[in-house]
């Protein structure tokens, strides 16, 4: 298998984390699962309340400032360095900027073999998952359900609205076995 990085892009509560865990179980090599949530959780608290960091509005909107973007670029560069050093990486991300977010990844990845996966879920189902989780701002899932996919090119799209994350992970693993090294440019 040539693919070194799998980028899962989808809105909040779409099932990306479950897919990432499923991929770790389904794929033959050891794959690290790293999420944009990991970056946010690692940030100083002062950068998680808006301003130059990342802010979560009462209506579910997310705003990012310059300090967040600098840290996110460093995070992306670090993940790409890990892939170049031989680690297999599953990235669980939310492309708040749609195509511009993907462009940042494409520029950083260069020639690293990457599989781009769009993770879709109906806004209503994602909202129900969001409410059940209780750790997200209400409305985030609905706002992101379609917006994060605007202008983004994928090698594969999966939908978790009525199919579990484990099934979607198996479909992605099967895709990798049938066409290794796919890349969207």
Say how far apart CA 95 and CA 1 lie, in whole Å: 26
- Clarify whether 37 is annotated catalytic: yes
The DSSP output letter for 139 is T
Query: Both tokens of residue 156?
Result: 């594969």
Answer for the pair 89, 5: CB distance below 8 angstroms, yes or no.
yes
Contacts of 75 (CB under 8 A, 6+ apart): 39
- Which is the catalytic residue, given 29, 37, 93, 135? 37
* Residues β-bridged to residue 63: 55
Residues involved in catalysis: 37
């Amino acid at each position: 298998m040539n693919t070194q990085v799998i980028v899962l892009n989808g809105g909040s509560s779409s099932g990306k984390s479950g897919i990432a865990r499923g991929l770790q179980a389904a794929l033959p090599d050891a794959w690290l699962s790293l999420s944009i949530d990991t970056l946010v959780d690692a940030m100083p608290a002062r950068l998680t309340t808006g301003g130059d960091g990342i802010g979560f509005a009462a209506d579910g909107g997310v705003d990012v400032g310059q300090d967040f973007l600098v840290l996110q670029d460093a995070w992306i560069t670090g993940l790409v360095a890990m892939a170049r050093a031989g680690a297999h990486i599953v990235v669980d991300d939310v492309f708040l900027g749609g195509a511009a977010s993907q462009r940042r990844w494409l520029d950083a990845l260069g020639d690293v073999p990457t599989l781009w996966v769009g993770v879709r879920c109906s806004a209503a189902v994602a909202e129900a998952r969001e409410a059940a989780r209780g750790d997200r701002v209400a409305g985030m899932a609905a706002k992101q359900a379609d917006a994060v996919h605007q202008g983004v090119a994928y090698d594969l799209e999966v939908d978790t609205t009525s199919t579990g994350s484990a099934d979607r992970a198996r479909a992605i693993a099967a895709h990798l076995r049938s066409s290794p090294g796919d890349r969207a440019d």
